[in-house]
Copies of this chain bind each other. A is one copy, B any other.
Amino acid sequence: MTDLAAPRSRPFVVGIIGGGQLARMMYTASVPLGVRVALLAEGPDVSAAGVVHDVTVGDYTDPATVQEFAARCDVLTFDHEHVPTALLQQLEAAGTAVRPGPAALVHAQDKVVMRQRLTAMGAPCPTHQVVPDAAALVAFADRTGWPVIAKTSRGGYDGKGVWKLDGPEDAPTPFADLAPGVQVIAEEFVDFRRELSALVVRSPSGQAVAYPVSESVQRDGICVETTTPAPGLTEEQSVTAQQLALRIAHELGVVGLLAVELMERADGSVVVNELAMRPHNTGHWSIHGAHTSQFDNHLRAVLDLPLGDPTTRAPWTVMANVLGGSVADLPSALLHCFARDRRIGVELYGKEVRPGRKVGHVTAFGDDLEATRKRARHAAAYLMGDPDA
């Protein structure tokens, strides 16, 4: 653990850029490790800014702001993938430890770079092509058939920057309001049976652990529920998905958490949908359900500490997201949730409730899958203002 052990005149500081709920949950995981955390937050009211002790409010796209913040930290990590690649390259060239580093992170920032690299390493991807205009997109669809998935190379999240195009009349849509330097990539529409998520954590020294593969349910491009382990997945399918994620982490030199979002075809084979290099919504189950949570292991990787056991503590763990609904005062709504279910795990993000916004999640674990799902769904529905669910 080179960094932590090096002599220094002040305590070791982990800098987190971005103040969303991922930073908030990283922070609670950092406290038991006894390391100091500094946060660069987008604003004073974002999720993590209300709980972290040492908060700087500033623009993560502004080089001076980020450089000044980095100068106070021994290592940088992230709540999101939106810090400009060039800025991270400058920091790294100047000697700052950036984890994950920009050479890896660019594959989570730019979908074109990601597809090209994964294809080159032989990782299963949908048929895809960069398309400069609507005509090229139509030509692509002539090969693969409609519908076609179109994505912007950069800037998308939670379903934004992704379109399902049903025919030539939709082809111009992704090119409207395209930011400078942003490309459109067309992808074969995969009529997947379900979505899976393979999470691995890799340390700078190359140690890596793989979490059990989760099944994830998306609605309108937002994750609403995960089940771990993914029901009905064979041992062989599971190992294949974990090995794929470990190989991608190794080839790309990822440090910290890598989430590989997969689509499972009807024949049980998988293709990679997206990559994320930070704790991931499909790993929230691990706070209550794994021996070592994704937040703990991400920090251990960032600190180059040995990684903890990613295996489950219960046969089934179900996580359900709480999206903003008719309940404004979530802490007060805990009354019913806790009264009904003495073992439900609830994590509220301290965010103002707005319709559809991720404002928390609940976790249930147990021996029986259907009973466990029911508990998680009920608690989440109640917090979303649907008490009869």
> A residues engaging B (CB < 8 A)?
1, 4-5, 12, 24, 27-28, 31-36, 50-53, 55, 291-292, 300, 303, 305-309, 313, 329-332, 334-335, 338-339, 342-343, 345-350, 360
Other-chain contact of A34, B335, B339, B349 (Cβ < 8 Å): B349
The residue of chain B having its C-beta at the shortest distance from the C-beta of A303 within the complex is: B331
Point out the residues of chain B lying under 8 angstroms from A334, CB to CB.
Answer: 1, 33, 305
The residue of chain B having its C-beta at the shortest distance from the C-beta of A5 within the complex is: B332
Taking a contact as CB atoms under 8 Å apart, the answer to whether B306 and A348 are in contact is no
The residue of chain B having its C-beta at the shortest distance from the C-beta of A338 within the complex is: B306
Chain B's nearest CB lies how many Å from the CB of A353? Answer: 11
Q: How far is the CA of A177 from the CA of B1 in the complex (A)?
A: 49
Those 6 A-B pairs whose CB atoms lie nearest each other, nearest first: A34-B348, A306-B338, A309-B342, A306-B339, A32-B347, A4-B332
Point out the residues of chain B lying under 8 angstroms from A4, CB to CB.
Answer: 329, 331-332, 335
Point out the residues of chain B lying under 8 angstroms from A338, CB to CB.
Answer: 300, 305-308
Chain B's nearest CB lies how many Å from the CB of A11? Answer: 9
Taking a contact as CB atoms under 8 Å apart, the answer to whether A331 and B12 are in contact is yes
Taking a contact as CB atoms under 8 Å apart, the answer to whether A348 and B36 are in contact is no
Chain B's nearest CB lies how many Å from the CB of A287? Answer: 8
Q: How far is the CA of A105 from the CA of B343 in the complex (A)?
A: 29
Can you pick out 5 interface pairs between chain A and chain B where the beta carbons lie within 8 Å of each other?
A: A1-B334, A4-B335, A28-B28, A34-B350, A308-B342
Point out the residues of chain B lying under 8 angstroms from A332, CB to CB.
Answer: 1, 4-5
Taking a contact as CB atoms under 8 Å apart, the answer to whether B35 and A31 are in contact is no
Taking a contact as CB atoms under 8 Å apart, the answer to whether B24 and A31 are in contact is yes
Point out the residues of chain B lying under 8 angstroms from A342, CB to CB.
Answer: 291-292, 306-309
Point out the residues of chain B lying under 8 angstroms from A33, CB to CB.
Answer: 331, 334, 346, 348
Q: A55-B53, A331-B12 are in contact. Are A34 and B360 (CB under 8 A)?
A: yes
Taking a contact as CB atoms under 8 Å apart, the answer to whether A308 and B24 are in contact is no
Other-chain contact of A309, B306, B343, B349 (Cβ < 8 Å): B343
The residue of chain B having its C-beta at the shortest distance from the C-beta of A8 within the complex is: B329
The residue of chain B having its C-beta at the shortest distance from the C-beta of A24 within the complex is: B31
Taking a contact as CB atoms under 8 Å apart, the answer to whether A331 and B53 are in contact is no
Other-chain contact of A53, B51, B329, B348, B360 (Cβ < 8 Å): B51
Taking a contact as CB atoms under 8 Å apart, the answer to whether A34 and B331 are in contact is yes
Q: How far is the CA of A346 from the CA of B24 in the complex (A)?
A: 20
Q: How far is the CA of A343 from the CA of B52 in the complex (A)?
A: 27
Point out the residues of chain B lying under 8 angstroms from A292, CB to CB.
Answer: 342-343
The residue of chain B having its C-beta at the shortest distance from the C-beta of A1 within the complex is: B335
Taking a contact as CB atoms under 8 Å apart, the answer to whether A308 and B34 are in contact is no
Other-chain contact of A313, B1, B24, B306, B313 (Cβ < 8 Å): B313
Chain B's nearest CB lies how many Å from the CB of A228? Answer: 17
Point out the residues of chain B lying under 8 angstroms from A5, CB to CB.
Answer: 329, 332, 335
Q: How far is the CA of A27 from the CA of B28 in the complex (A)?
A: 9
Q: How far is the CA of A195 from the CA of B291 in the complex (A)?
A: 30
Taking a contact as CB atoms under 8 Å apart, the answer to whether B346 and A32 are in contact is yes
Q: How far is the CA of A90 from the CA of B241 in the complex (A)?
A: 63
* Residue from A31, A308, A329, A332 with most neighbouring chain B CB atoms (10 Å): A31
Q: How far is the CA of A290 from the CA of B211 in the complex (A)?
A: 22
Q: How far is the CA of A313 from the CA of B1 in the complex (A)?
A: 32
Chain B's nearest CB lies how many Å from the CB of A308? Answer: 5
Chain B's nearest CB lies how many Å from the CB of A302? Answer: 12
Point out the residues of chain B lying under 8 angstroms from A291, CB to CB.
Answer: 342-343
Q: How far is the CA of A307 from the CA of B342 in the complex (A)?
A: 7
Taking a contact as CB atoms under 8 Å apart, the answer to whether B50 and A52 are in contact is no
Other-chain contact of A32, B306, B339, B348 (Cβ < 8 Å): B348
Point out the residues of chain B lying under 8 angstroms from A346, CB to CB.
Answer: 32-33
Point out the residues of chain B lying under 8 angstroms from A308, CB to CB.
Answer: 338, 342-343
